[in-house]
Amino acid sequence: MGKKRIIKKSEEELLKEREVVDAGLKKDIKTKKALKVKEGNLYISSTYNNTIITLTDPLGKVLAWRSAGAIGFKGTKKATPFAASKVAEALCLIADKIGVLKINVFVKGIGSGRDSAIRSLASHGLQIISITDVTPVPHNGCRPKKARRV
């Protein structure tokens, strides 16, 4: 295999890299923490494989998001109701820091974490104004196969 070579960067190069990274960060991060939003929309996307919860302001700008995979669940455990409740709990902590008190909940998908996420949100002190199911429903579906000729 050979020797592994470790490239050490000088302090000047590290400072230049850091400036580039800091410039690339969004400027809204500071304003989001300073801005106290009282109301918000919460989108729960619950699939067979994962549960993703997104918190937005009334205009639709994303304030925070969490998913079962980002918290640390792996594989099929991401789609469980327990994982969904833990995701909701983590997002409630962020909502408290931002100052969100009232939320409109929009649920999408057919996973098993739908109900437990909503229950967890309610139990952690967020006031739920409305719950709306926005799961896409096919009206007529795909075109069926041709009839088999024998």
**Which domains, and CATH codes, for the chain?**
38-133 (3.30.420.80)
For the CA atoms of 74, 75, 79, 81, what is the dihedral angle to 10 degrees? -50
Provide CB contacts within 8 A for 56, sequence distance 6+.
Answer: 40, 41, 42, 43, 62, 63
Could you read off the pLDDT of 21-42 as tens digits, one per residue? Answer: 555 544 434 444 556 788 999 9
Residues recorded for the chain:
150
Read off the pLDDT of residues 66-102 as tens digits, 9 standing for 90 and up: 999 998 888 989 999 999 999 999 999 999 888 899 9
DSSP 130-147: EEEE-----SS-SPPPPP
- Its pTM stands at 0.71
